[in-house]
């Protein structure tokens, strides 16, 4: 009879540590997924500091300025663009001319040095995105950028994950609205019935045969 | 017997021990996220002013069939302000509707939705904005509005960078419609139109 090298509870310890190892792996994966979806990683809802504390709430919600006044290319080009310094100065040469918050804008206007805004929405360089097609097909700014008119400092409303783009490309009828309402921040999707929205999808000739989820639509 | 089953389970677990290493790989792939290329609005350390999107040099014209001296682009016919829409622009309901959407986006903050100079910004002051319903502005040639949008006037900045020439003509046509709406002889209105005016009040 050979000697017992393992103590009596060796089996239990082995099983417990096996269990512990599995839990550790599962836990690590769960924590990483959680982190990936959390605002610490995605920046959703986290306002960034800007060279000028520009407020959309003030200019859009209270002063009722149209998005196109500042993001003028959004209907025609891939990029919505940031307003030129002249755009701010068309008003701020005459209103709030001495505000210290606008010092950066005035200096930029005098020297020609652009104001460098910190980007909030920024896709990876391997993704192609185009604003004009979405605007032309009745996808409103608020469907993607949320209620930016309620934000003092702009913050992300979407992590811009691929699954989110695909979700809408599979079922645009869940988000579509009439073209005239694209710039309306208060539009509620449910103010049209599903049937009416499906009708819009047809009217705007949005392909529903799955073409929109082909990889090369966004990775070209 | 029992012993060897346990051993083979252990061996299998050990064989999969490399799996957690994948987690290390996942996080290291930023090279394709920030590719060495310029996209609009990027910052550049190549150009002295720091802009990847360089403004075009002065007097640049688009490379196509545009004639930079045509009435469409200048608002002038032989040096005089045009008193008609250029031939490329067709006056119809679609043009006026387009003009209205542009006017409401670009002009209404100051000039007001009806052009009375009482837009939100002007109303709050201290900027004062003239009404578009003065006799002088009712009688100027339509090219004048095109010219004001293109070059600005006095305290008003140029909007040429943001409004393409076709849209400027649409706005000019819509201003004419606004002027008509604010200065029409009541006697000329039909019964039905009168009802609508009263209901609108």
Domain count, chain A: 2
Taking residues B66-92, report their average pLDDT: 86
Contacts of B124 in chain A (CB under 8 A): 95
Contacts of B20 in chain A (CB under 8 A): 25, 28
Residue that is written with structure tokens 């005239």 in the block: A180
Burial category of A2 from C-beta neighbours within 10 Å (exposed 0-12, middle 13-18, buried 19 and up): exposed
Minimal-distance CA residue of chain B relative to A30: B23
Which residues are CB-contacts of A143 (< 8 A; sequence separation ≥ 6)? A168, A175, A177, A189
**Distance from the Cα of residue A43 to its chain's centroid:** 10
DSSP A44: B
Residue that is written with structure tokens 């319903």 in the block: B133
- Between CA A99 and CA A95 the distance in angstroms is 9
Which pLDDT belongs to residue B99? 95
Q: A174: closest CA among A148, A206, A149, A216? A: A206
The reply to whether A43 falls in a domain is: no
User: Quick check: bond before B126 cis, omega within 30?
Assistant: yes
The reply to whether A160 falls in a domain is: yes
Q: A86: closest CA among A57, A63, A114, A65? A: A114
The reply to whether A177 falls in a domain is: yes
* Structure-block tokens of residue B31: 């090279």
The reply to whether A209 falls in a domain is: yes
Residue A2 has pLDDT above 80, yes or no: no
- Mind listing the pLDDT tens digit for each residue in A126-158? 999 999 999 999 999 999 999 999 988 888 888
Instruction: Identify from A29, A86, A90 which residue to disrupt to test chain B contact, counting B C-beta atoms within 10 A and taking the largest count.
Output: A90
Q: A67 or B198: whose pLDDT is higher?
A: A67
Q: Could you tell me the pLDDT band of residue B24, with boundaries at 50, 70 and 90?
A: low
**For chain B, what are the domain ranges?**
75-188
- Ordered alpha helix ranges (H), chain B: 2-15, 21-26, 71-74, 93-106, 108-111, 120-124, 135-139, 143-151, 165-182, 191-200
- Between CA B61 and CA B164 the distance in angstroms is 12
Are residues A33 and A125 both part of a single domain? no
Residue B27 has pLDDT above 60, yes or no: no
Q: Say if A72 is an interface residue toward chain B (CB within 8 Å).
A: yes
Chain B residues 69-128 within an 8 A CB cutoff of chain A: 104-106, 109-110, 120-121, 124-127
The reply to whether A94 falls in a domain is: no
Q: Say if B187 is an interface residue toward chain A (CB within 8 Å).
A: no
Which pLDDT belongs to residue B201? 57
Mean pLDDT for all residues in chain A: 90
Nearest to A63 among B13, B121, B158 (CB): B121
Per CATH, the homologous superfamily of domain B75-188 is: Cytochrome c-like domain (1.10.760.10)
Distance from CA of B122 to the nearest CA of A (A): 9
Query: Is the Cβ pair A114, B49 closer than 8 Å?
Result: yes
Whether the CB-CB separation of A157 and A145 falls below 8 Å is answered with yes
Residue that is written with structure tokens 């009416």 in the block: A196
Taking residues B120-130, report their average pLDDT: 87
Which pLDDT belongs to residue B2? 54
Are residues A76 and A18 both part of a single domain? no
Residue B65 has pLDDT above 70, yes or no: no
Host domain of residue A162: 72-81+121-218
> In whole angstroms, how far apart are CA B174 and each of B16, B65, B91, B118, B182?
72, 26, 10, 18, 12
Helix H or strand E encompassing A68: helix A67-70
Residue B54 has pLDDT above 90, yes or no: no
Query: Is the Cβ pair B106, A66 closer than 8 Å?
Result: yes
Which pLDDT belongs to residue B22? 67
Q: B68: closest CA among B195, B183, B193, B160? A: B160
N residues, chain A? 220
Taking residues A168-183, report their average pLDDT: 92
Which pLDDT belongs to residue A32? 93
The reply to whether A136 falls in a domain is: yes
The reply to whether A66 falls in a domain is: no
Nearest to A125 among B34, B40, B161 (CB): B34
Q: A84: closest CA among B112, B157, B113? A: B157
Which own/partner pairs from A77-83 qualify as long-range (CB within 8 Å, at least 24 positions apart)? A77/A131, A77/A132, A78/A129, A78/A130, A78/A131, A78/A132, A78/B40, A79/A131, A79/B39, A79/B40, A79/B41, A80/A131, A81/B40, A81/B41, A82/A117, A82/B41
Are residues A131 and A184 both part of a single domain? yes
Which pLDDT belongs to residue B157? 93
């Amino acid at each position: 009879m050979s000697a017992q090298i393992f103590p009596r509870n060796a089996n239990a310890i082995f099983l417990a540590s096996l269990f512990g190892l599995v839990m550790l792996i599962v836990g690590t994966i769960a924590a990483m997924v959680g982190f990936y979806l959390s605002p610490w990683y995605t920046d959703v809802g986290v306002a960034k500091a800007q060279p000028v504390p520009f407020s959309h709430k003030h200019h859009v919600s209270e002063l009722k300025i149209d998005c196109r006044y500042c993001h003028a290319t959004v209907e025609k080009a891939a990029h919505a663009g940031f307003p030129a310094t002249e755009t701010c100065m068309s008003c701020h040469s005459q209103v709030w001319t001495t505000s210290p918050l606008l010092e950066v804008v005035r200096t930029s206007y005098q020297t020609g040095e652009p104001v460098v805004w910190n980007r909030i929405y920024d896709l990876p360089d391997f993704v192609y995105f185009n604003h004009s097609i979405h605007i032309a097909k009745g996808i409103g700014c608020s469907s993607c950028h949320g209620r930016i008119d309620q934000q003092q400092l702009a913050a992300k409303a979407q992590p811009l994950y691929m699954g989110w783009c695909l979700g809408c490309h599979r079922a645009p009828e869940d988000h579509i609205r009439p073209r005239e309402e694209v710039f309306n921040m208060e539009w509620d999707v449910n103010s049209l019935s599903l049937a009416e929205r499906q009708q819009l999808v047809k009217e705007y000739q949005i392909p529903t045969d799955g073409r929109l989820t082909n990889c090369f639509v966004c990775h070209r | 017997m029992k012993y060897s089953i346990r051993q083979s389970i252990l061996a299998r677990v050990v064989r999969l021990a490399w799996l957690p290493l994948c987690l290390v790989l996942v996080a290291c792939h930023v090279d394709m996220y920030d590719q060495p290329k310029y996209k609009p609005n990027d910052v550049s350390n190549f150009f002295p002013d720091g802009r990847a999107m360089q403004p075009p040099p002065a007097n640049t014209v688009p490379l196509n069939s545009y004639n930079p001296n045509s009435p469409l682009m200048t608002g002038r016919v032989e040096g005089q302000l045009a008193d008609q829409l250029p031939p490329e622009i067709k006056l119809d309901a679609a043009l006026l509707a387009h003009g209205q959407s542009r006017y409401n986006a670009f002009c209404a903050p100051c000039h007001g939705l009806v052009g009375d100079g009482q837009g939100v910004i002007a109303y709050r002051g201290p900027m004062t904005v003239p009404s578009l319903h003065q006799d002088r502005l009712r009688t100027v040639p339509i090219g004048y509005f095109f010219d004001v949008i293109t070059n600005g006037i006095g305290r008003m900045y140029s909007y040429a960078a943001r409004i393409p020439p076709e849209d400027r003509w649409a706005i000019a046509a819509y201003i004419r419609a606004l002027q008509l709406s604010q200065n029409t002889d009541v006697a000329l209105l039909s019964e039905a139109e009168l009802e609508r005016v009263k209901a609108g009040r």
